[in-house]
Structure formats: C-alpha cells, structure tokens
Amino acid sequence: MADRVRVGIVGGGRIADLNKIGWLDHARGEIVAVCDTDESTRSARAAEWSCKPYEHLEGLLADPEVDAVEILTPHHLHASQAIAALEAGKHVSLQKPPTMSLAEYDEVAAAATRAGTVFKVYENFMFYPPHVLARQIVDEGGIGEVLSVRIVTAAGRMGTGQGWEVSASSNAWRLDPSLCGGGMMTFDHGFHCFQMGRMFVDAPVEAVHAFINVLELGPGTQIDAPSLISWRYAGIPVRYGSWEIVASLDLDVMSEYYVSDDRIEIRGNSGIIWVNQCSGRLLEEAPVVHYRDGVVRAFHRVETDWAVSFRDATFDFIDAVLDGGQPHLDAVEGRATLAFALAAQLSASEHREVAVAEMG
C-alpha cells in the first residue's frame, strides 16, 4: 500500500495559492507536477513547488509518478479533464462547481466508478472551522430541530488595497456563462453557499425560487447581484432556507482573500446559531455565537483563517486515498449540491419555482 499521494496540479492560477497548502502541510502528500498552458505561470509554480512542469494535460497524465490530479481550471474544462484523469487511473480532486451540467457530471461520476479511484468534489466551506463548529452544535441538539438556514453574502469594493489582486483576464471567463456555467456569484461562488444550505439540515432540498439580477459595471464587467434565492427542504416540519447576495460596491470589506464575506444564521425550534465571518472580516465579534434558554455562548477561540478550510479539504482527500474512506464531497453528495445550484439558475431564467427533481 502506498504511503503518500503524489499530486499533479492542473491550473496554477490564484486559487492554487490556497489549494497548495494541504499538499505542503500533510505528511503524506507531495506536489510532483504542475500543468498550465501559460508558460510564465507554469514555470513560476514549478520553481515554487520544486516539481515538473507540463504544458499539456496529456503529458502530466502519462507521468507514472503522478498518483492524483487536482483540477483548478475554468469550469468548462472540468468534465473533459476529470474524465481523462480518471481514465488514466488517477485519483481526482475536482474544484467546485464540478461541471456545468448534470449530464457532464454523470459522465465524470461514471468514469470514476469505472476507474475505481477516489473522486472528490473540492468544496472548502464545509471544512471552515466556524462552519464545522456550527454543525457540531446542531448535532449535539444545541438548537433543537433546525427550521431555517439564512445566508448573506456581502460583495465589496475592489481595487482598494484590501484582499487579493485578481487580474481582469483571470475573471474574464467567469463573466461568460458559456465558460462559467452561470453567474460569478450565484454559480461560481454559489456552489459554496448551496453546500452551506445543505450542510445543516438532514433533508434534501426539494424546491428553489431565485431572483438573480445582473448589474453591469462597465465594458465586459458585471456581477450577478443583488440576488435572492430561497428554497424548501423536503419533509415535515416545513423548513426553508435563503441566500441573499448584496453588491455594496462602495463598501470596504477587510479581507486577505476575496473582498466579500458570508454570514449564516441557523434557527432551530429551541435555539439559534450565528456564524459571523468567512473569507472576510466585517464585524469584530465572536466567529460563532450560540443562543439557547436565555444563555449566549460566544466562541472566540475558533480558527478563522479561510486558508485552513482549504488545508483541511485537501487533507480529507489525501486521507481518503490512503486510508480507503470516502471523501467529502463524494460523487453522490457533489451531485446533490450541483443539482441545487442548477435549479437556482433555471428558476431565475424561467421566473418560476423549480423542483430540484426536474434537474434529473
């Protein structure tokens, strides 16, 4: 049995600064190759990680030293690259959203079944320590039965010195639905929030209704906000969730990463949980607050660096490969979140409530 996982990272762009962390920090992980069509990116990453550079995916997949592939490319490339990697016998960690349609996704999942290798949809929010703590409180019965999940995303002003600098070329494909699969906020970032909508309620999402506005910011620049997406969970009692995206374009969002932040409120029949920050910092308050029976518990000693969620998501993949378990998200769970996300896009375009079952 192998004692380590040797990965080839496909796509050396900005997000690789976070995806690399788990591979560098895990005692049983190692970056051995990088593939990027841009020569300067490819060379810089190869030097940074002391690994082999490849211009074309075929070369990386033919490398016998590569056990697994981490795919960090634009969404329209995901399905073909994941299938090629799986057919080459590699384990695959596929960045969210995994594909642009369920038909594509099912082809990837079928390839994973044939290959018998580990397939993971890479979604890091579910590993963010405040979110993990909130789920732990739910599991302990801390708010009774969960009745609602509310998420608010605050997108702030760019170009203020706060957060990452992301080049216009890096964002260009996200503004094209044919390459992204949907809006930059409601589909690209949205997969995170749809997973959060599923994370705290042990029932499937049954129906979705979405208002998605597209705000033109200038030539070739837009944001799909303000938007409001609501959903109903299956079963009894009746339970709802909602996600609101606000583009406060004159608002400074303090962040070491993207200039946006996500807050979550989880209400039960006997308590409430607030998760007060994610990738940004809007308020100086405890990351997690729990209320029940007149008692407020504020959890200040929780790791809040967003990068930790990437580290732990990668650890999950490495451990699944070496120890024989199932990663989070596996093929079944990843499909459920993708169907939820696609249902929201369809609802907004057709101006109606969409049953998730309609997605197939």
Domain limits, CATH 3.40.50.720, in the chain: 5-123+310-328
C-beta pairs of 199-202 under 8 Å, 24+ apart in sequence: 199/126, 199/131, 199/135, 200/134, 200/135, 200/138, 200/146, 200/149, 200/266, 201/146, 201/149, 201/233, 201/239, 201/241
Tokens 């990843």, located at residue: 334
Residues paired with 291 in a beta bridge: 272, 296
CATH number for the domain running over 126-304+341-350: 3.30.360.10
Neighbours of 213 (CB within 10 A): 15
Residue 194: HSE in the Cβ half-sphere, 13 Å Cα cutoff: 33
- Residue 343, classed as helix, strand or coil, is helix
pLDDT in single tens digits along all 360 residues of the chain: 589 999 999 999 999 999 999 999 999 999 999 999 999 999 999 999 999 999 999 999 999 999 999 999 999 999 999 999 999 999 999 999 999 999 999 999 999 999 999 999 999 999 999 999 999 999 999 999 999 999 999 987 765 666 777 766 667 788 788 888 888 899 999 999 999 999 999 999 999 999 999 988 777 677 899 999 999 999 999 999 999 999 888 888 888 888 889 999 999 999 999 999 999 988 889 999 999 999 999 999 999 999 999 999 999 999 999 999 899 999 999 999 999 999 999 999 999 999 999 999
Contact 146, 264 (CB under 8 A): no
CATH number, domain 5-123+310-328, options 3.40.50.720, 3.90.226.10, 3.30.9.10, 3.90.550.10: 3.40.50.720
Q: What is the pTM of this model?
A: 0.96
